[in-house]
Amino acid sequence: MDVPNERKVSKKLIPSLGGVAIFAGINISALLFMPETESPDMRILFASTIMMFFIGLKDDILVISAGKKFAIQLIAALMLVFLGDFRITQAYGIAGITTIHAWASIPLSVLVILFIINAVNLIDGIDGLAGGLTIFAASILGIWFYLAGFTIYGVLCTAMAGSLLAFLRFNLWGGAHKIFMGDTGSLVLGTILAALLIRFNELNALASDPFYFEHAPIIALSILIVPVTDTLRVFAIRIYHKKSPFSPDMNHIHHVLLKSGLTHIQASSFLIAYSGLFVMLALTIDNYMSNTLGFPLLLGASFATFGWLHYRMTAIQARQQLIIEEGKGRIIRMNAKEDEHKESRRSKKSI
């Protein structure tokens, strides 16, 4: 059960084991429809997601320390890199680098996998957001994998999107049967997304026109622009205030949107549309500038936009609070005047 507290948006006990259904849906679909379930990299990916599934399940039921959770994440990331060969080796000319050598590729790949797993986990703060963003990412990647001829990964993307559509039915409109995905779901999704994005970056180098993108790293970034920007942003805020980057708070962009008056569905829809806008921007950049310039430009634009949103939404919230306070003040003054009037009438009667 997801227990309400001062940091959580939900105010009642809600089952947080939706990730069990998501995990089952992905694996059953993959076993039924994937043409190459015996491929070594897919076996390693499934083994890593099983590890994430059980550590997430234990955390949802019993709660475990952040250190233990991170240790399992690290083991899963190392498995993906060393045993599954999910490594970033293609830099596409960023900072003049075309191919990343193993001594740099291995730690970079592990860090990217860990970051994406935690970014997806952290963005799972309101109804429909993590699920909706993952469906968006899986749809974009799945279309590319199918069209470029890498069917095995396209099937995995389809399985993930289908499982999440079923989950969102109960997460958003479940009523008394509402569920959350919990850490079980977000850790599994983050692991699969990290692997798929690395595969996209690497397999793109083998693709032929019109499915080859010179700016594959920028497109990969744009697909997960919301969790990436939000995670870096809240980490920066926490470090600035001399707190641990992993200390929980209410500074996530979805919390800011909710405080401004948006509903869960409105805030989630806005951030999914935001991701779509940045994917289109990344595809436009593909024709006009280098990766060296485009990558930091895209990330900087997202940071600036999130900063502006935080400023605007905080101003709206302050204005709403002022209106409420003014309303309370008027009521207090009206009550005071009414009390004075009653007292005056009593005085006249006594005279």
* Rounded-to-integer distance, Cα 48 and Cα 196, Å: 13
Please report the pLDDT score of residue 249 as a whole number. 81
Specify burial of residue 344 (Cβ count, 10 A radius: 0-12, 13-18, 19+): exposed
Please report the pLDDT score of residue 294 as a whole number. 87
What tens digit of pLDDT does each residue of 31-90 get? Answer: 888 776 567 889 999 999 999 999 999 998 888 888 899 999 999 999 999 999 999 999
Please report the pLDDT score of residue 177 as a whole number. 80
What tens digit of pLDDT does each residue of 311-332 get? Answer: 887 777 777 667 766 666 666 6
What is the pTM (predicted TM-score) of this model?
A: 0.87
Instruction: Report whether 279 contacts 213 (CB < 8 A).
Output: no
Please report the pLDDT score of residue 336 as a whole number. 61
Please report the pLDDT score of residue 344 as a whole number. 64
Please report the pLDDT score of residue 208 as a whole number. 85
Could you tell me which of 92, 88, 66 has the C-alpha nearest to residue 77? 88
Q: Binding site for Mg(2+): residue ranges?
A: 121, 183
Please report the pLDDT score of residue 77 as a whole number. 97
Specify burial of residue 282 (Cβ count, 10 A radius: 0-12, 13-18, 19+): buried
Please report the pLDDT score of residue 261 as a whole number. 83
Please report the pLDDT score of residue 332 as a whole number. 66
Q: Binding site: residue ranges?
A: 121, 183
Number of Cα atoms under 13 Å in the Cβ half of residue 71: 5
Buried b (16+ CB within 10 A) or exposed e, 47-69: ebbebbbebbbbbbeeeeeeeeb
Instruction: Report whether 196 contacts 153 (CB < 8 A).
Output: yes
Radius of gyration of the chain (CA): 24
| Segments of the chain scoring below 70 in pLDDT | 1-13, 36-38, 286, 320-321, 324-351
What crossing angle do the helices spanning 151-173 and 129-148 adopt, rounded to 10°? 160
Residue ranges per domain, the chain? 18-314
Could you tell me which of 49, 227, 216 has the C-alpha nearest to residue 134? 227
Please report the pLDDT score of residue 143 as a whole number. 96
